[in-house]
Amino acid sequence: MDVKFQGYDEDRYDFHHREKKEKRRKIFVKLLFWIVSIPVTIFFATLICSVLIEKTKVNNNSMEPVLSKDDHILINTLSYRLHDPRRFDVIVYEKGDVDHSIFDIKRIYGLPGETIQIKEGMIYINGKVIKDEAGDVETLLGGIAADPVKLGENEYFVLADNRNDSEDSRFAGFGTVKRKNIIGKAWIRTNKFGFVNSMKIKKTEEQTK
């Protein structure tokens, strides 16, 4: 003979038991997730900082007004492992010999295989005038690019934004930038936060008068 105690509901007891067990399982899963994700996040953050990002400091005023001397820059060293440098990219590259190289920053205008020329203040690529990312600043000196300059397979022709008071690929002693010497794309200015390649050159009050 089956005997049931008054007030005892077996189905209700099993339901509460399963509910408590499910709550404990969810808590355990969440705890396990944080235990695993925290060291993984730290590992990848360290990897990114040590392998994919470098730091440098601007050592001159050649890229004013976008970048000024002593600005601190993070360099994206991954970008050019995925694709080649592009026109108007602001790049960081090694300048000088192997033992005494320094990092320099300029903007790309001429790409490998192209012919660049600067005449009457205008920049020509393969015989056609292109937009000047330095704004309305007239390029007063064409330098070696006063005559057409044919770029080699791995050569880039770079110009300073503040080009009338700076040296760049127009000068024979400066020369073009080789692909192997490019460290990466100038990414973030950290002391006055901004994404370098998104910064637009604005006219000063003196230029608008």
Check which CATH number belongs to the domain holding 172 and give it. 2.10.109.10
Domain range for 30 is 9-55
Residue 62: how many other CB atoms lie within 10 Å: 21
Q: Is 183 helix (H, G, I), strand (E, B) or coil?
A: strand
Q: How far apart are CA 37 and CA 173, in angstroms?
A: 52
Q: Which two tokens stand for residue 62?
A: 């050649």
Q: Are residues 22 and 118 in the same domain?
A: no
As a residue count, the chain comes to 209
Lowest mean pLDDT among 33-47, 74-88, 138-152: 33-47
Residues 6+ apart with CB under 8 A from 126: 114, 115
Query: Per-residue pLDDT for 101 more than 70?
Result: no
Q: Are residues 106 and 167 in the same domain?
A: yes
Query: Burial level of 40, CB count in 10 A (0-12/13-18/19+)?
Result: exposed
pLDDT at position 144: 96
**Looking at the domain assignment, is residue 207 inside a domain?**
no
Lowest mean pLDDT among 8-12, 13-17, 48-52, 98-102: 8-12
CA 157 to chain centroid, in Å, comes to 19
DSSP label at residue 56: E
Q: Are residues 133 and 35 in the same domain?
A: no
Residue 111: how many other CB atoms lie within 10 Å: 16
Top mean pLDDT of 23-27, 28-32, 52-56, 149-153 is at 149-153
Q: Are residues 50 and 65 in the same domain?
A: no
**Looking at the domain assignment, is residue 3 inside a domain?**
no
**Looking at the domain assignment, is residue 98 inside a domain?**
yes
Q: Are residues 70 and 34 in the same domain?
A: no
Beta-bridge mates of residue 158: 108
pLDDT at position 24: 79
Closest CA to 150 of 183, 123, 116: 116
Q: Are residues 44 and 86 in the same domain?
A: no
Q: Are residues 113 and 29 in the same domain?
A: no
62 noted as active-site residue: yes
Q: Are residues 47 and 78 in the same domain?
A: no
Q: How far apart are CA 200 and CA 131, in angstroms?
A: 13
Q: Is the pTM above the cut of 0.95?
A: no
**Looking at the domain assignment, is residue 167 inside a domain?**
yes
* Options 4, 50, 62, 203, the catalytic residue: 62
* Options 79, 106, 166, 169, the catalytic residue: 106
pLDDT at position 54: 84
**Looking at the domain assignment, is residue 4 inside a domain?**
no
Express each pLDDT in 14-44 by its tens digit. Answer: 666 677 777 777 787 778 777 877 877 776 6
**Looking at the domain assignment, is residue 206 inside a domain?**
no
Is the model more confident about 20 or about 51?
20
131 noted as active-site residue: no
Q: How far apart are CA 130 and CA 55, in angstroms?
A: 31
* Number of domains comprising the chain: 2
Q: Are residues 64 and 48 in the same domain?
A: no
**Looking at the domain assignment, is residue 2 inside a domain?**
no
